[in-house]
Structure 1
Amino acid sequence: MLPLQQFQDFIREQALFNKDHRILLAVSGGKDSVLMLHLFKAIGVTFGVAHCNFNLRGAEAQRDENFVKMLSSSLNLPFYVTHFETKKYAEEHKISTQMAARSLRYAWFEEIRANHGYHYIALAQHQNDAVETVLINLTRGTGISGLHGILPKRDKLIRPLLFLNRSEIEVLINDNQLDFVEDSSNASLDYTRNKIRHTVVPALAEINPRLEKTFTENISRFAEVEMFLNQEVEKLSIRLIEHRADGHYIALKEIEQLNPQKLLFFELLKSYKFTEFVVAEILMNLNGQSGKRFLSETHEAIIDRNALVIVAKDPTIVHYQTLHPNTEQVEFLGEVVSLSFSETIKFEVSPAKAYVDNDLLIFPLILRTWQNGDRFIPLGMRNYKKVSDFFIDEKVSLHQKSRIPVLVNGNGEIIWLAGMRQDNRYKLTATTKKVAIFEVKIK
């Protein structure tokens, strides 16, 4: 008989789903997913079946697809199938075949779930899978989340077989005479997981025959530790991170007082995709020179006087634009710079606008970010001043410097630090006949 009571108890205890939810089952055709399918069928839940053909095992992969399709048809279940060029994807993204298959299948499962009205995606991972995942994470290096490995529920993914181990599943398959297909690659030691499954786990099981149950208990404890840590980090985040329009600020003195420093600081920066290595580099340079930058996949952190400033990286940023007499506006670093002309000689005092004697312009003009060595004559002054010194006087932060548009004439002279100060050489005079009006606006 199928363990229907245990199955339903686990679903209820872990709050995986309720009877009104529609579930998408990921079914490979192996023992685990076949058992999961029959359990779902027996408890009367509405569900569909999704199968991935990764084109990695030739005729065997096609056999698996045909089996799952036939099984779904025999039980009158909705069936979804897709084919991936997995090796090609792995080569293009410079990742392992296993990582490619994982990325492709999860993205497709979510697409089917969202498009066909399913509430959750059910994966047939069991206690042995959880043990193997923790051991892999420990071998490669991991944080707290890696210690609990796979959880019964995370976002839209549920794992309703985590109350069973591999031996128990095999007994249930045999006792209930359930048909399945065997993936020959499961026996290969070319894959990390299989090495751990066939060599490491049996050795550990000799030491502790209750290995799966012990790991299940440990995983539960680690999950609770992570929950507690996340709650504390959320409190820290609210207290320490100041969110401004130009970035996220953390006072350096607050970082220095964190204890344990590396753990808490890593967790604070985790949402910004900074790796443990980069976090360690930042900590080593807290008392170093201002202006040092650190990169993650999505963000940039800058040590700026008394704070660490975190800003989003924008892959669409263009650091160089040209303006012609017929240019009405250009986008630059999240702002819009417009150009218009007037034969009425008047102006208003506004850092967001520059009123320039048109006869002095040499087109095309250049809009760019500032560079070392830039200098200009600030409006109202007679002598040159380094732009970097002007920024210091105006208390412009280091990360803001790199985002201020600099308008440059065709002869190389700076006309305007957009939003800040015009060059005195280009001001309107009694001989001005036509005015070029530049204005900067936040997009």
Structure 2
Amino acid sequence: MLPLQQFRDFIEQQQLFTEGNRILLAVSGGKDSVLMLHLFKAIGVDVGVAHCNFNLRADEAQRDEHFVALLAGNLGLPFYVTHFETKKYAHQHKISTQMAARELRYTWFEEIRSAEGYDYIALAQHQNDAVETVLINLVRGTGISGLHGILPKRDKLIRPLLFLNRQEVNEIVAKNNIDFVEDSSNLSTHYTRNKLRLQVVPHLQEINPDLEKTFAENMARFAEIETFLNLEVQKLQARILNERADGVYIDLKEIAALNPQKLLLYELLKPFGFSENVVEEILGSLKALSGTHFFSSSHQAIINRSDLVIVKKDTAIVANQFIHPETACITFTDHEIAMAFSSEVKFDLDANKAFVNAGKLIYPLVLRNWQNGDKFIPLGMRNAKKVSDYFIDEKVPLHLKSTTPILVNGNGEIVWIVGMRQDNRYKLTPATKKVAIFELKIK
């Protein structure tokens, strides 16, 4: 008999789905996924069958596809199939064949789930798969999330066979005369997971015959620890992360007081993509000079006087952009500058606007980043001043120095430090006949 009550109990305990949900089953044709299919069919859940042909095992892959298609048809279930050029994809993306297959199948499963109106995707991983995943993570290096291994439910993915181990799956399939196909690649030690399953796990089971149960208990503990850590990090984020319009600020004193320091700072910076190595560099540079930069794939962190400031990389550069008389608007990062003309000579005291004597403009104007050596005459003053000195006097954060756009006339003179100060040479005077109005706006 099939373990239907255990199956129902596990689904309920883990809150995998609710009555009326439609489930897309990932079925390869092997013992695990075929057993999962029969269990779902037996308890009357509305399911569909999805099968991936990775074109890696020639005739065997075609056999698997035919078997699963026939099985779904015999059970009267919707069947979805796709074919991947897995090795080509792996080569193009410079990843392993295993990783390529993983990326391809999960992307396709989600496409089918969304397009066909399924609520969840069910994967037939069992306790031994969870053990192997933890071992792989440990060998490669991992944090707490890698120690809890495979979770029964994450987002739209559910794993309803995690109440069984491999031996139990084999026994159930044999006792119920369930047909399946054998994947010959499961016997190859070319793959890391197979090497662990065939050569490492048996030795561990000699030490602990209840290895799967022990790992399941440990993984449950680690999952609880991760939940606790996430809650504490959320409290910490609310207390010490100061979100401003120009970035996220963390007081260096707060970082120095963290305990355990490396773990907590890593968790705080993880959403911004910073690796553990970069976190170590930051901790070793807390007393470094202002302006020290650290990078992730998407963000940069800058030590700015008493703070660590985190900004997106795409806010760091304003490429040279040309402005002509007919230009109505120019866009950069998440801002834009609107340009208009008026014959009425008047102005507002608004740092986000510049009211310029249009008669002095030489086109094209250029919008660019600040450069070393830039000078201008601040509005209301007579003498030139280095822009860098102006930034210091105005206590402009270091990361904003590199991201503040400068509006430059065709003769090379600065017209406006955008959003801050206009140049005195382009102010309105009684002789002004036409006004060029520049306005900084957030998109």
Q: Deviations over 1:203-228 (max 9, x none)?
A: 21111111111111111111111111
Q: For the residues of structure 2 that align with 1:180 and 1:282, how far apart are their CA atoms?
A: 54
Q: Deviations over 1:33-76 (max 9, x none)?
A: 00100111111111111111122222221221111111001000
Letter in 2 for 1:284: G
| SS of structure 1 residue aligned to 2:61 | helix
Partner in structure 1 of residue 369 of structure 2: 369
Q: Deviations over 1:118-141 (max 9, x none)?
A: 121110001110010000000000
Partner in structure 2 of residue 410 of structure 1: 410
Partner in structure 2 of residue 400 of structure 1: 400
| SS of structure 1 residue aligned to 2:356 | strand
CA contact (8 A) 2:355 2:427 kept: yes
Partner in structure 1 of residue 355 of structure 2: 355
Partner in structure 2 of residue 309 of structure 1: 309
Q: For the residues of structure 2 that align with 1:70 and 1:362, how far apart are their CA atoms?
A: 75
| SS of structure 2 residue aligned to 1:18 | coil
Q: How does 1:193-232 map to 2 (within 5 A)?
A: 193-232=193-232
Gaps of 5+ in 1: none
Q: For the residues of structure 2 that align with 1:173 and 1:195, how far apart are their CA atoms?
A: 24
Q: How does 1:42-441 map to 2 (within 5 A)?
A: 42-314=42-314, 318-441=318-441
CA contact (8 A) 1:319 1:333 kept: no
CA contact (8 A) 2:273 2:299 kept: yes
The 1:107/1:293 distance shift into structure 2, 3 A limit, reads same
Q: For the residues of structure 1 that align with 2:168 and 2:78, how far apart are their CA atoms?
A: 28
**1:315 CA displacement:** 8.4
The TM-score, its normalising length taken from structure 2, stands at 0.96
Partner in structure 2 of residue 40 of structure 1: 40
Q: For the residues of structure 1 that align with 2:296 and 2:358, how far apart are their CA atoms?
A: 44
278-287 vs 289-298, which moves further = 289-298
| SS of structure 2 residue aligned to 1:204 | helix
Q: For the residues of structure 2 that align with 1:315 and 1:246, how far apart are their CA atoms?
A: 9
Q: For the residues of structure 2 that align with 1:295 and 1:15, how far apart are their CA atoms?
A: 40
Q: For the residues of structure 2 that align with 1:130 and 1:339, how far apart are their CA atoms?
A: 60
Partner in structure 2 of residue 5 of structure 1: 5
The TM-score, its normalising length taken from structure 1, stands at 0.96
Q: For the residues of structure 1 that align with 2:438 and 2:224, how far apart are their CA atoms?
A: 57
Letter in 2 for 1:346: K
Identical pairs, percent? 69
Letter in 2 for 1:409: N
| SS of structure 2 residue aligned to 1:410 | coil
Letter in 2 for 1:225: I
Letter in 2 for 1:405: P
| SS of structure 1 residue aligned to 2:24 | strand
31-40 vs 193-202, which moves further = 193-202
What is the aligned-residue RMSD (CA, Å)? 1.6
Q: For the residues of structure 2 that align with 1:318 and 1:379, how far apart are their CA atoms?
A: 24
| SS of structure 1 residue aligned to 2:411 | coil
**1:93 CA displacement:** 2.0
Q: For the residues of structure 1 that align with 2:34 and 2:127, how far apart are their CA atoms?
A: 16
Equivalent pairs, count:
443
Letter in 2 for 1:278: V
Q: Deviations over 1:238-270 (max 9, x none)?
A: 111122222222111111101111111111112
Q: For the residues of structure 1 that align with 2:314 and 2:391, how far apart are their CA atoms?
A: 23
| SS of structure 2 residue aligned to 1:327 | coil
